[in-house]
Structure formats: C-alpha cells, structure tokens
Amino acid sequence: MTDHSETLALWPAPFAPGAVDATVTVPGSKSVTNRALILAALAADPGWLRRPLRSRDTLLMAEALRALGIGIEETVSSSSAVAGPAGGGGEAWRVIPAHPQAPATVDVGNAGTVMRFLPPLAALAEGPVRFDGDPRSHERPLRGVIEALRALGARIEDGGRGVLPMTVHGAGSLDGGRVTVDASSSSQFVSALLLSAPRFNKGVEVRHVGERLPSTPHIRMTVDMLRRAGAQVDAPDSGGEPNVWRVTPGALLGRDLVVEPDLSNAQPFLAAALITGGRVTVPDWPTRTTQPGDALRRIFTEMGGECHLDDRGLTLTGTGRVRGIDADLGEVGELTPGIAAVAALAESESTLRGVGHLRLHETDRLAALTREINALGGDVTETDDGLRIRPRPLHGGVFHTYEDHRLATAGALLGLVVKDVEVEDIDTTGKTMPDFPELWHRMLAPEGPGAAGVGD
Ligand SMILES: O=C(O)C1=C[C@@H](OP(=O)(O)O)[C@@H](O)[C@H](O)C1
Ligand SMILES: C=C(OP(=O)(O)O)C(=O)O
C-alpha cells in the first residue's frame, strides 16, 4: 500500500435518501475484452469485438497491440446482437491480426492482464519489446511468467528482479513445450502462458506447482475462450490432470464476439440494493459465464438479498437485512473490496478468507480496506489470508483509494448509507469503469433524464 497524497480530489459520495430502485447497464468485462484482444491479434483472420470495454486497462492493451503491429479499428457495428433499446448499432473494435513486430514499447499501466498476458505474445516478435508501467507495476509479481517464458525458449532481460521494467527479446518464434509455474500469487500466470500457446511451435503444457491457485474461474475463462477460438485445450475440469493444462499448436479463428457485461463491476450497484433495502436490475446478465462475478448471486443471497435472473437480467432485491458472512473468496478475490464494504454494514461479524494474494493487487487491498473502514469508525482486522470484520456504527470522513478502482467503489458504497463520506480520487475507477461516477448518480436519480436505461 503506497502512502496517499492529500492533494488528490475528494468526491462527496452521494447519500441515498431511501431504497434505490434502478436498472443499471454496466460496461463490458475487462477480463473478457483483454483476452479477446490477445486471441484476435493472434488469429488467422480478422475478427470483431462488440461492446468492448473502453477503460484504462483495455485501452492500454489495444495500444500495446497496435505498437506490435496489430490493427485495431474503431467502428460502429450494425449487428442486431448489440443493438440498444433504440435499435441503433453498438460500438465495436475490428482486429486485424499480424505477426507481432519489434522493436516496440509497451506501457502496462497497472493492468495485471497487460503485464502478464502480453509478454508471451511479444516473445513471438523478432527484436526487443520493452515493458514498463506505473510504479505499482514494479511491485506486482511477474517472476512466474518470466521464468516460464525463459524455459520455453525466450530471452528476457529483467535485471534478475523478476518484475517490471523488462525487455523481451523475441526471436520471431517460440519453441514452447513443458513448463512448471508457481501461480499461487496470480492465476494470470497460467492464463498468460495458455493464451498465446497455440502459436508456440510445440504448444504448451503448463503445470502449476504452488500450494494454492487463486481465481480459478479466470483460468476457466481463458480455456473457454481459447476453445471458442478453435484451440485444442486439455484442462483439469475437462477430465485432465489436476493443475495441468495443455494447448496444442494450431491456427486461431477470427471471431465475432459480443463482450459480456463486467459482473464484478456490477457488484457495487447490486450491493447498493442490498444495503438500502432497494432493487437493482443489471440487464444482459449471462445465463452461462466463467466470470467470477456470477458468484454474487450466491454471496449476496447469503448476505441477505434475494436474486432473480430472467430475460430482463439479474435483479437483486434487498430485504432490509444484511447478514455477515464466513467465506473463502480465493476463487473470486476481485469481489473482496465490495464484500468487505457490505460486511462492515451488516448485522453480524464476517470472516473473509483465502485472499492473501490481494496484498499484491492494485494496492495491498487487505491493509487498505482495514485502514479505510477503521478510519470511518469500523472494526476490521487483517488475518494471515483475509479480513475479520465486526460491524460498528460508521461516521463520515475521507476514504483513501490508493489508485485502486475497487477501493473507490467500496468507498462509494459506504457513502450511500453513511453521511459525509468523501472518496479520494474517484477517477481511479477509470481502470475498469470510467463511467462509474455518472452511473452511480443516475442509479440514485432514475426519474431524471436518461431514466429509460441507466448506462445505455
Ligand atoms: O485473469 C484475469 O482477468 C484476472 C484474474 C484475477 O487475477 P489474480 O489471479 O491475480 O487475482 C483477478 O483478480 C483480476 O482482476 C483479473
Ligand atoms: C486485480 C485486479 O486487476 P488486475 O487485472 O490488474 O490484476 C482487479 O481488477 O481487481
């Protein structure tokens, strides 16, 4: 957790005068968009991404791919699959694949998906590709990807530090083959090695050897998207050996893909219904998905809400009660800040476990949540692998966010029911949801202009 600066703007979090009642269309999934961009860049033919997320993390990915010679064109799509309620077309990216070119420079910002998913693709270029990013990117784990790529035949200069900045010196192709990796600090190590593997000469066999593996739905998302792009993948959940994934070399198809809404970014809106005893509908909630955010249906039901999925989307109705929870969130770590905020407002204690790796996310999320909820009068303690949260009456104050989009949305959530909360640097939500402040205000004033479809 880097220290905060008092010079960052403070955003007066809107206080909800009563139960919220709104329909909120949330933007596309970061994780799906950035995987789709990599797969489309490596495909044999051009492809479409419809309703891509446009946020800092995905624009950095698109910019990096352009630097490597891949074409990404902005278009307005005429597909009926993405037509809004007014019948118009949606925005889309057309991706024109090319063999990755070097020399190139990549700014990863603080995007885990960019700093981990791109180096294997860069290793296919012929020449140096320099990777750097925000100061926090120099602290986030990358050694697993660097060492695995070396074992697969790549030359990488990282000064022996195992973190950014680094330069990947591609030789125009990569052997691939068998590799072991300890992905206990990030599931993205496994996803990174699998995503580009159809283009490695021998494909890949990745064996995870660490004690634990976080965020396994995100690895299933990688496998599912690879298969939909035509790759042959053996994985533990399709009868394969536990902790082993195999990708066969072969061509990838250029796809026409509609990006699902980001279910993790739906979390603050659904939570708003839960904590105010109101009702929020998120349209286009997929009936089948690998996104970890789908677990919110179960988690927020256990915490007192009622969830209903139908053709209008997912509706969460608050019952007026908010219960504490004892949960292992290892599979769904990115939901922790929002769950912690709800837990701080519950009628009973919560224990959140299995998320020690969050200390190496955008910020040390366990330390940051503890410090900021306690600064508002809360009683949160850090455990080895999570948080213990005892609800207390909270008061207003500044909620610092440490350049972490999910800290910012957690602060907004608290401010909905605690008067006079000011969230520092709300613009940090731009990492995955630049429209957050607007969507949040509109959720609270659905009678105003644009009520017909918040976020449409
Ligand atoms: O592959 C992905 O798209 C992600 C995997 C997870 O990373 P970790 O396994 O590092 O937690 C998740 O927290 C992150 O927000 C997105
Ligand atoms: C951990 C997250 O992001 P990243 O992709 O940068 O790891 C997140 O979005 O919660």
35-64: pLDDT as tens digits: 999 999 999 999 999 999 999 999 999 999
Q: Catalytic residue positions? A: 334
Residue 137, marked binder: no
Residue 69 within any structural domain of the chain: no
Residue 80 within any structural domain of the chain: no
Residue 144 CB less than 6 A away from ligand 1: no
- Nearest ligand 1 atom, CA 334: 13
For the stretch 382-436, pLDDT in tens is 999 999 999 999 999 999 999 999 999 999 999 999 999 999 999 999 999 999 9
Using the mean position of ligand 1's atoms as its centre, give its distance from the Cα of residue 139 in Å: 16
CATH number for position 284: 3.65.10.10
Residue 190 within any structural domain of the chain: yes
pTM as predicted: 0.95
Report the nearest-CA residue for atom 8 of ligand 2. 334
Domain that includes residue 393, residue range: 10-27+260-453
Residue 16: pLDDT band with limits 50, 70, 90:
very high
Same domain for 394 and 291? yes
Same domain for 155 and 192? yes
Using the mean position of ligand 2's atoms as its centre, give its distance from the Cα of residue 360 in Å: 10
Cα atoms in the Cβ-side hemisphere of radius 13 Å centred on 129: 28
Q: Which of 250, 278, 311 is the last residue of a domain?
A: 250
Residue 93 within any structural domain of the chain: no
Q: In the chain, how many domains are there? A: 2
Same domain for 399 and 429? yes
Residue 390, marked binder: no
Residue 112, marked binder: yes
Alpha-carbon span 78 to 96, nearest angstrom = 19
How high is the pLDDT of residue 177? 98
ipTM of the predicted structure? 0.99
Same domain for 371 and 279? yes
Q: For ligand 2, pick from 137, 361, 401 the residue to mutate: most ligand atoms within 8 Å of CB.
A: 361
Residue 419, marked binder: no
- To the nearest whole number, what is the mean pLDDT of the chain? 94
Same domain for 264 and 203? no
Report the nearest-CA residue for atom 5 of ligand 2. 112
* Nearest Cα to Cα of residue 319 among 19, 12, 15: 19
Q: Residue 22: is its pLDDT beyond 60?
A: yes
Ligand 2 proximal residues by C-beta, below 6 Å: 111-113, 334, 361-362, 406, 432
Same domain for 122 and 18? no
Residue 62 within any structural domain of the chain: no
91/263: higher pLDDT: 263
Same domain for 131 and 195? yes
How high is the pLDDT of residue 6? 57
Residue 438 within any structural domain of the chain: yes
Q: Which of 219, 250, 281 is the last residue of a domain?
A: 250
Using the mean position of ligand 1's atoms as its centre, give its distance from the Cα of residue 358 in Å: 10
Q: Residue 80: is its pLDDT beyond 60?
A: no
Residue 117 within any structural domain of the chain: yes
Same domain for 289 and 245? no
Residue 3: pLDDT band with limits 50, 70, 90:
low
Same domain for 318 and 231? no
Using the mean position of ligand 1's atoms as its centre, give its distance from the Cα of residue 90 in Å: 27
How high is the pLDDT of residue 451? 46
Q: Which of 216, 250, 284 is the last residue of a domain?
A: 250
Same domain for 223 and 325? no
Same domain for 164 and 287? no
Same domain for 246 and 131? yes
Residue 76 within any structural domain of the chain: no
Q: Residue 453: is its pLDDT beyond 50?
A: no
